Every structure is written in C-alpha cells, then in structure tokens.
Structure 1
Amino acid sequence: MSAESKAVEVTGLTKRFGSFTAVDNVSFDMPDGEVFGYLGPNGAGKTTLMRMLTTLIIPTSGSAKVAGFDIVKNPAAVRRQIGVISQAMTSDLDLTGYENMDVYGRFYGVPARERKERIGYLLEMVGLSSRSGELVATYSGGMRRRLEVARGLVHRPKILFLDEPSSGLDPQSRRVMWELLRQIRQESSTTIFLTTHYMEEADALCSRIAIIDDGKIVVLGNPEQLKREIPGSDIVSLVVEAPSDPLVDCVKALPFVRNLHVEDETLRVYVDNGATSLPALMDAIRSYGGRVLSAGIHEQSLEDVFIHFTGKSIREGEAKKVSLLVGAGVPQRWGR
C-alpha cells in the first residue's frame, strides 16, 4: 500500500490520563475509501482514539496522520479534511434543519451557491427535505442523527469520523442509519472511520474491523476472515447448573470439541456440526452428574470472535463508560 493511498496512518498511538492508559500503543493504516470499524466495549478507548485522530486531544506518545497531515503538527489542515459525527447530538434545537446545515457550511467557508445546492442534495439523501424548514426540536432521535450525518458532509470531507452513530436509536432507526451509511459509500469516495460496540453494526458496514480491549487492538481483519480464525463452524451454548472444573475438563476432552469458553454457568462449545454434537454434549454432561438448564446452537458471529480473542463477552465491559457530554474519552473517575 503506497503512502499516497492511506487516509489514516497510526503508529504507536498512546494516551494516558495520570496512571490510567486509555489507548495503548495502537497502530493501523486505513486506505482511501475504506469503511473501518473500531469495535469494543464502552470504556475500551474508542472515543479517546477518535478524539486524538480528530485533533481534539493530544497523544501522550506515538504519531498519526489523517489525510496526509500530522495530527499534532498540523491540526488545522486535518480539520479541513474531516467530518465528525459525535455520539452526543450537537445540532441546534432552536434552528431549523436547513439552518443547522447552513451554519456548518458557512463555518467551513463553502460558497453560498454551492452551499445551497449541497444542502439540498444532502437533505434529500437523508430523507429530510420535507422537514428542512422545521425546528430540530421537533425531530425524532433518528431524524436528528440523520441530520447530523448530513451536516458532517456539507464541506465534502475526505474522511468521515462517526462515534457510535446508532447509539440510543431504536432498531428501526438503526437500520435506516446503516442504509444511509451504505448510500454514502456508494455515492462518494468518502473514507469512514466508525467506532461501535454493536457487533451486528460492524459486521454489516465495515470492510475491516479492529477489535479492541483495554485500549489495545487485539485483532484486526475483515469480518469473514476473523470468523474463519475461530476453530469450529458452530457454537453450542449450554447453561449448566454449577459447572465444576472436572466437568468442564470432561467436555473439553471430547474428540469433536474444537474449543471451549466458560462464562458463569454457560459453556460455549466450538464444534464443526452443532446439530450432531449437541446430543453427545448433553449426554456427556449428564453422565458426569451435571444438569443442563438450556441449550442453543448458532453460527459464529463477531461476538464469538471477541470472546475467542479476549476471553470475555463484550457486555462485560459495559460498566466502564466515559461521559461523552462533558468530555468524551476521559474516564469519569478522572473528574470529567
């Protein structure tokens, strides 16, 4: 990959707050036109990394270039090349949808005629043309999110940064948001950097994904490639009453078991054929004196990839959050 084709270059980027390391020696590249997903639980350092890449906070160490410009040495040039949609909604409730777009375009110096044409095109794209003259205070959450994506595109940025774009949306609005992002990619060459803790969102939108945990990139690749790295094509989930270590060892030793993870009372057993393996697994557990409370089979997903590489579910990290309204990326215990 040539240097000219890289939209983002990150080398050893680290951010510490006192003794707490939010982003830990992260390195990756993004080619032009890619949709890159940064996937991990809340508190894993996603927003902190994005705030560094968008020049809002300065790294402790390491370096990064965005659109060819160093984020520390030339932050103004970086800002001219990017659009940013934060997790917290920032559109002005006391302005109309059109006025929100117009103010943003003026801020970036978009000429009046081009600004008018661009706003009209984008409002049509996000399905808000008929509501453009109404106050944003009357918009639903999904409408506001679509408006903010459109607003971030007014100045034709080379790279669009989205922090948890569907956070707080209902399932239907989330799907609408996904279709909008797909349309943006189809109709432009915009590179997209997306942070999310939704596995399905990353799987649906991203050409490559970095799975992160505790500020570090654990594994990076395209979704299908990452799934193929897990042994076994099916996951059998067995809820077992008080599973003992000897019982777990017994299951793990079965010849058709490729891998096994234990979370509380749930055994996640990786096998090649779940339908044929399930009865044998249940028989083995019963013969060892165990009691199966429930059982299920599913194909591998990014959730399974996360568990395989981190040893825990992404939901276990949900309690560690940052306050996005008062300074995203800084842990609350640091007074932000």
Structure 2
Amino acid sequence: MVRRRGALLILPPIAALLFLQCGDDAASDADVGLPPRGVLPEGAAEEGGDAGPRDAAPPPCDLAKPFGAPARLAGFDPDASAATPRLSPDELTIYFTIPTGASFADIAKAVRTSREDPFGAVVTLPQSSPASDHDPSVSADDLLMFFHSNRAGTADLYVAARANRSSDFGDASPVVGPDVNTAAPEAHAYYRQSAGELWFASDRGLDAGYDMYVAKGDGGAFGPPQIVAELSSPFDDYQPHPSEDGLTVVFASDRPGGKGATDLFIAKRTSTSAPFSTPTPIAEVNSPNIEFAGWLSADGCRLYFSSGRETNDVSYGLYVAVRPR
C-alpha cells in the first residue's frame, strides 16, 4: 500500500479536500386544560383495548442491518467538489470543505428545512482564511465549531464560539491545552461534549502515520491528549467521529482490510471505561476509491461521508447511506 505522508494537509487542487411537531399543538391543548396529545387521562383506556401504556414506537431502523446503498446528498452541484461532511445534531445544517484554488480550501455550510429536503446554497464561513482551512464540526449544543488550518504554518486545531444557535460563530482561535497543538500537524477535531472529549488526529511521530488522540476539557481548554491505542495502526488513522454516548466511533484509514485507498471503519465498546473493539471496515459503503469523514447520526441510522467514487478521485461528493427498518 502506498503511504500518503502529509496527505491530510496541503495537496494539489482537489486532493487537498482529504482534509478536506407536535410541540406547539401540545402547548395549545394544555392552555385549555386538555392533556397533552397522545396521553390519556388517568384511568382511561384506549378505544378497543384495556387500560395501560401504548406500545412503544418502532425503532427508526434496524441497527443489526448493514447500511443501504449510498446516495448523493440532494441540493449540491454534482460538478462541484465538496468533502468532509459533519452535521449539526438535528442534521439540518451540514459543514464541509470546499476547494478554493491550486492547493487551498475553505470551510463552508449548507442548510435544509427537513431531512427529506435538499440542502440550500453553499455558504463559505467567515472563519475561513487565505490559508487552507478544513473539516469543520460542531458540538452537541451547536455553540462551538472546531476545524483545522495551516494559517500559522503547520496545521493546528482552531475553535470558534457563538452565544446561541441563531447567531453566527465568532472569530476562531487556536485550541488551548498542553500538547494539543504541537510542531507536528493536528487535524480533524471532533468534540464529544457530553464527556468533554476533544478527538483529533496527529502525526507526531509515535508510529508510522497519523493516529487518533483524545484530550479532556470543557470546550475552552483541554488537558494533555492521550493516544487511542486500540484504534491505532502503522497506517494513517484519522477523521474520528465518536457517538455522543462514546460507545461507537467511525473513522477513516488506509489500513489493510478495506477496498482500497482510504476507507471508513467502525469500532464499538460496551462502556466508556472499556477499550474499543478491533475496527472493522464498513464494507457496504466503501469502494476502491477514497471514502473519508464519516458522520453517524445519533440514532445510528444514517452515515454521511464523502467519496471520489464517481470521478476516480478527481473530485469528491457528499453521500448518505441509510440503514433499513
């Protein structure tokens, strides 16, 4: 396998992208003294049945089944390259990387009104710089945005904050913490807010390539990062997306076992104090071309990622794969 040293940083044009309703109704019922919709008065029985709780709603998908065939996300120009998708928790805003020239990139976003609707116009984020900026992702409360940039030379991690979801993110500044940003490249930050964990990748010489690290903190400052040893390999392992409960992580790697180039892998664990299982490729979404930056929905039913499968890696598109019920 050919190693791509430094492939997460500044590359020729497109290759650089590797881094790269019932609430209101219920309220109105309560205003006139009615119980919330779908809730029976105490002691009442449903029509045609005995008193007791209703059956629980069916799960949105079967987590034991593989993902279905990947589809291009609607609303994006199929001839325009975009990569490294990360979404807001409600999946209505998507953050990603777009090319801006021979070897530069900006961070961007697009918005949709529901998961069934196409995304709207692509908007370049003002936190972008004349340098190369990549891989934006937001916290669970949607108030912090992390990304990496080489604006100071080597790629480092940056963060921008906002007061509420209706306002814009402010100016970006380097992530604070001992040995989070170093002389080596750091990239692909993702903040698991419920545990105060900043996940990222770095090639700081502990083995032959990029590895994934976790630093603990509060979003404003972090402690010394620790390598996630059970997920490391002699190859490049990067772009981690941990689930908010900390039991699943999806990441990209060029390790053996995939279909070629860079593929998506998944690892699980039984508790946050246990090590992750041996990573396995997500075979149903991988291809002989590049796949990277997987983002798994909170219910585990939708996997968003980018791939060069339709252009033989000349450019990249944004995809989603859905588990069936």
TM-score (norm 1): 0.27
Higher relative contact order (CA 8 A, sep 6+): 1
Larger-Rg structure: 1
Higher strand content, 1 or 2: 2
TM-score (norm 2): 0.28
Higher helix content, 1 or 2: 1
